[in-house]
Structure 1
Amino acid sequence: MPATPSQQGVDDVSERTQENRSEGQSPATKAGRRLAAQLAAQKAAEAKRRRQAWAGGLAGIAVMALLIGGFVWIDSNRDDKPSNASGANPSASAAAPDAPTAPPAAPAPQLPAGADPALGTKPTVKAGTGELKKLTVTPMIKGTGPAVKKGQNITTNYVGVFYKDGKEFDSSWNAGQPATFPIGVGQVIPGWDQGLVGVTVGSRVQLDIPGELAYGNDEAKAGGRPTGPLRFVVDVLAAQ
């Protein structure tokens, strides 16, 4: 059914209103989009500048750190080098790396109660004189302890030298500790077995021993041990 004039007018007004509304909003929407795009571009550019500034600052810090580290390394190497102001050859004044050093002193032995303090020092033993024909026991320090008995274990410090020239061939002092062994039962040379039984603890005695009561006089049979007459200085530290 055809529309009435009044209704047709209303429809025309409504269509124009919608067209005007659509046409009026289009420019504003485009401008808003352009503005948003410009703002986004500005933010992106600003963020890029900030990143570049940070990168430049970090690079500068790294360069400064490298420079400072180089200066410190150079100074430390300069300090480590020995001064040679006198112009002398350093190797001439410094000790050679392989130069021999004196061996450490042996610890003092544990002395029996009331013993002479001289027993704490290694004795100097000299060569004998004349021809040695028999075992000779010479007291050097008289101890106040009990007498050594056959079959006891005795603890001694000793120095052994060749009777004729005084050259040392053995010493408990060089080993750094006294020697302990049974006495009078054939565990040591006959000159010790015979010469130390009856000596009091705390004594220092000199034993002049002919070859037949020591290691013999034949080098071929001695097995590398000292032959001929020998001299020992023995400190008796204990007997049990």
Structure 2
Amino acid sequence: MSESTDNRSTKSQRRLAEQLAAKKAAEAKRRRQAWAGAFAGVAVVAVLVTVFVIVGQRGGDDAPEQAAGTPSAPAEAPSDPGAPPAPQLPEGADPALGSKPTVTPGEGELTELTVTPLIEGTGPKVEAGQSITTNYVGVFFASGEEFDSSWERGEPATFPIGVGQVIPGWDKGLVGVTVGSRVQLDIPAEQAYGDGEGGRPGGPLRFVVDILAAQ
């Protein structure tokens, strides 16, 4: 084989080697780009997952725990946890019956039973022989000093009416009063506890009575 032929063969081999090297380099570059793209995609997904987790945790921290089916608004707490519970009022009763009344002293000389309506109830009239449920405050007529109150005991009082089980001023003054009423009873001593023997309050008395039920 001639020298010129050898030179051409060597050049052809070099070109082929260069082409193969370029092809390998291009394939390696494509692989590197593909790996870089895949890694970038994984990184983006990881960032999004982290964001969702953080937001979800914050939302869980901020939202109050609430049982299914319960209202979102909390129940109103009593203003004074040590106060007696409010009485159960009859349907349609004036809300004022839910609060203890302020009772002032009377004026002048009390000689007869006086019944003064303060709140007119809409329920049935109390009949003699029924048991009535009441809240009441009792004070001395002349001074207004309190000596008894169902409000302070934290529960209404229930008793028969019109059959001699209570003082005459109550028997006479409360029969005929409608349920849901608040009345003021000014009772002379002879229809109350007289002179107050046995530690009972003596003299004329004033009561403010709420009729909560009659049956």
Compute the RMSD of aligned alpha carbons: 1.2
Task: Percent identity, please.
Answer: 77
2:199: which partner in 1?
A: 224
CA offsets, 1:37-78, max 9 Å, x none?
A: xxxxxxxxxxxxxxxxxxxxxxxxxxxxxxxxxxxxxxxxxx
Distance, in Å, in 2 between the alignment partners of 1:225 and 1:132 is 19
**Equivalent of residue 135 in structure 2, options 157, 161, 166:** 157
1:215: which partner in 2?
A: 193
2:173 is paired with a residue whose SS is helix
1:147: which partner in 2?
A: 125
Distance, in Å, in 2 between the alignment partners of 1:143 and 1:205 is 10
1:168: which partner in 2?
A: 146
**Corresponding letter in the other structure for 1:238:** A
| TM score, norm. by length of structure 1 | 0.56
Distance, in Å, in 2 between the alignment partners of 1:232 and 1:103 is 27
Using the TM superposition, give the Cα deviation of residue 136 of structure 1 relative to its aligned residue in structure 2, in angstroms: 0.1
* Structure-to-structure mapping, 1:89-108, within 5 angstroms: 104-108=82-86
Unaligned runs of 5+ in 2: 1-79
Structure of larger gyration radius? 1
1:210–1:103 CA distance, 2 compared to 1 (3 A): farther
CA offsets, 1:175-223, max 9 Å, x none?
A: 0000000000000000000000000000000000000000002x4xx20
Using the TM superposition, give the Cα deviation of residue 106 of structure 1 relative to its aligned residue in structure 2, in angstroms: 1.1
Using the TM superposition, give the Cα deviation of residue 169 of structure 1 relative to its aligned residue in structure 2, in angstroms: 0.1
**Corresponding letter in the other structure for 1:236:** I
Distance, in Å, in 2 between the alignment partners of 1:118 and 1:183 is 24
1:195 is paired with a residue whose SS is helix
**Equivalent of residue 233 in structure 1, options 201, 204, 208:** 208
**Corresponding letter in the other structure for 1:233:** V
Distance, in Å, in 1 between the alignment partners of 2:81 and 2:145 is 19
* Structure-to-structure mapping, 1:12-51, within 5 angstroms: none
**Corresponding letter in the other structure for 2:200:** R
**Corresponding letter in the other structure for 2:118:** M
**Corresponding letter in the other structure for 2:199:** G
1:179: which partner in 2?
A: 157
**Equivalent of residue 134 in structure 1, options 98, 112, 115:** 112
**Total equivalences in the alignment:** 136
Whichever structure has more helix as a proportion of its residues is 1
1:147–1:124 CA distance, 2 compared to 1 (3 A): same
Distance, in Å, in 2 between the alignment partners of 1:178 and 1:224 is 23
1:122–1:225 CA distance, 2 compared to 1 (3 A): same
1:119: which partner in 2?
A: 97
